[in-house]
Amino acid sequence: MQHSAHTEQLAIEPLYMTMMLIGVLLYIAAVLRSNKKLRPWPWHRTVFWCAGIISIALSLEGPLAVQSHINFIAHMAGHLLLGMLAPLLIALAAPMTLVFRILSIPSARRLTRLLKSRPFFLLSHPVTAALLNIGGLYVLYTTDFYMAMHHNLFLEMLVHVHIFLAGYLFTVSIIYIDPIAHRFSFIYRAIVLMLALAAHGILAKYIYAHPPTGVPREEAEAGGMLMYYGGDAIDLILITILCYHWYRTSRPRMAGAGEIK
Q: Site residues (CB under 8 A) for other proteins?
A: 190, 193-195, 197-199, 201-202, 205-206, 208-209, 224-225, 228, 232, 235-236, 239-240, 243-244, 246-247, 250-252, 258-260
Q: Which is nearer to other proteins, 8 or 232 (CB)?
A: 232
Residue 257: CB minimum distance to other proteins, A: 8
Residue 77: CB minimum distance to other proteins, A: 18
Residue 256: CB minimum distance to other proteins, A: 10
Residue 227: CB minimum distance to other proteins, A: 12
**Alpha-carbon gap, residue 160 to 143, rounded angstroms:** 17
Q: Which is nearer to other proteins, 4 or 240 (CB)?
A: 240
Of the CA atoms within 13 Å of residue 196, those in its CB half-sphere come to 31
Q: Which is nearer to other proteins, 58 or 129 (CB)?
A: 129
Q: Which is nearer to other proteins, 38 or 233 (CB)?
A: 233
